[in-house]
Amino acid sequence: MDLLNTLVDKGLRRELPTREEALAVLATSDDDLLDVVAAAGKVRRHWFGRRVKLNYLVNLKSGLCPEDCSYCSQRLGSSTGILKYTWLKPEQASQAAAAGLAGGAKRVCLVASGRGPTDRDVDRVAGTIKAIKEENEGVEVCACLGLLSDGQAERLREAGADAYNHNLNTSESTYGDITTTHTYADRVDTVTKAHAAGLSACSGLIAGMGESDEDLVDVVYSLRELDPDSVPVNFLIPVEGTPLAKEWNLTPQRCLRILAMVRFVCPDVEVRIAGGREVHLRTMQPLALNLANSIFLGDYLTTEGQAGKADLEMIADAGFEVEGAGEVTLPEHRTTAGGGCGSHESAGCGSHEGAGCGSHQGGGVCGTTVPAAAPANEARTDLVAVRRRGAGTDLAPNA
């Protein structure tokens, strides 16, 4: 396909595809899917080889959130039956992190529910970062605490945080349909604050919330403009008790096309398969490693993930290798002075994971017929299990 050849050439040069090209990737047929994966895989291997970075989540404070994000099991008034607990002590968080690090993770993501941290909360997290880093030399720590106030990103950086995650989640035009207690602009502001403080910005999206192809392209182009170093791609986990519990719109093929589109638009950043891969990619997870160079190990914030051992076996069986603690994830041009590719005309892109725009210029490629949308995915509620182990419990974590 001429389209795929063009996208590979652009990806190797870090050149931004047109919106029409990005939309055309999402509109490809299942017959062309392996060609799409192979093309995006060339871009992934050019920048990241066959390495897979492992990340591990520690939910520092679960539930009790005043925000109304429709996708979230921790939202205001949630009836999901998730674990609810207040702040873990630094030693508890460090112990939880150690399990993931022992399983091969090189980054620990410290997440807390809520609108955003108070200054006292920042102090708590600073103590937790110190405890983790004292026990684990060379570990990367990413904080995800919600909306940041002035000066808080700098304080987290001084405390030893390496990165900050705050997702855009969906396009600016549809953001108000998903969340009403804060704005899309609030999220952009927090990613900007993290970037300005010298933290590695992490910002991504959630697919499967009923959005259009144009919405997906809009949010990914907005992420590229923000220039985070990592872009988590979450696939909605429709947890019973949330407003989006009936949104089973994704197929494994659809997920692969979304990941390929993100890789073409953000060729040289850490694209991470985040929440929902087990639910929606299912047996196609190994194929997705040809598109993304990063995954979460084990469980998520409030739901269970694939067994940590199975994650490691999947990576090995697919012919990939776990990225070592001493290896640098990003290409050299993103880690040298001057930072990310935002200073280049053909810059790359990135994103962070959180809580997870722009204007689109129309439909598919001129002169082509866009295939009909794939039928709605079958509901697989059997694959959604509330987390009952690890942080906040007396049971061993899945790592």
Residue 361 has pLDDT above 50, yes or no: no
What is the token pair recorded at 70? 């429709």
pLDDT, mean of residues 384-389: 90
Residue 226 has pLDDT above 90, yes or no: yes
**Nearest Cα to Cα of residue 222 among 185, 256, 270, 273:** 185
**pTM, rounded to two decimals:** 0.89
pLDDT of residue 82: 86
Residue 313 has pLDDT above 50, yes or no: yes
pLDDT of residue 371: 42
SS3 of 10-72: HHHHCCCCCHHHHHHHHCCCHHHHHHHHHHHHHHHHHHHCCEEEEEEEEEEEECCCCCCCCCC
Of the listed ranges 121-130, 283-292, 356-365, the least confidently predicted one is 356-365
Mean pLDDT over each residue of the chain, to the nearest integer: 89
Residue 352 has pLDDT above 50, yes or no: no
pLDDT tens-digit map of 257-274 = 999 999 999 999 999 999
| CA 78 to mean position of chain CA atoms | 23
pLDDT of residue 376: 57
Residue 79 has pLDDT above 70, yes or no: yes
pLDDT of residue 172: 97
User: In the 8-state DSSP scheme, what is residue 115?
Assistant: S
SS3 of 351-380: CECCCCCCCCCCCCCCCCCCCCCCCCCCCC
Distance, CA of 149 to CA of 325 (rounded, Å): 32
DSSP letter string, 173-192:
GGHHHH-SSS-HHHHHHHHH
Q: How confident is the model at residue 236 (pLDDT cuts 50, 70, 90)?
A: very high
Residue 347 has pLDDT above 50, yes or no: no
Of the listed ranges 219-223, 241-245, 368-372, 377-381, the least confidently predicted one is 368-372
| CA 211 to mean position of chain CA atoms | 17
Cα 323–Cα 328–Cα 333 angle in degrees, nearest 5: 135
pLDDT tens-digit map of 13-70 = 999 999 999 999 999 999 999 999 999 999 999 999 999 999 999 999 998 898 989 9
Residues 6+ apart with CB under 8 A from 317: 286
pLDDT of residue 399: 87
Q: What residues act catalytically?
A: 65, 69, 72, 109, 142, 202, 272
**Nearest Cα to Cα of residue 376 among 220, 246, 276:** 246
Burial of 38-69, coded b for 16+ CB within 10 Å and e otherwise, reads: ebbbbbbeebbebbbbbbbbbbbbbbebebbb
Assess contact for 99 and 393: CB atoms under 8 A: no
pLDDT of residue 70: 92
Domains of the chain: 2-327+340-360+369-383 (3.20.20.70)
Of the listed ranges 71-85, 88-102, 186-200, 241-255, the least confidently predicted one is 71-85
Cα–Cα separations (whole angstroms), residue 173 to 19, 21, 322, 368: 16, 21, 38, 26
pLDDT of residue 278: 96
pLDDT, mean of residues 2-17: 98
pLDDT of residue 316: 98
Assess contact for 30 and 82: CB atoms under 8 A: no
Distance, CA of 181 to CA of 201 (rounded, Å): 23
Assess contact for 251 and 78: CB atoms under 8 A: no
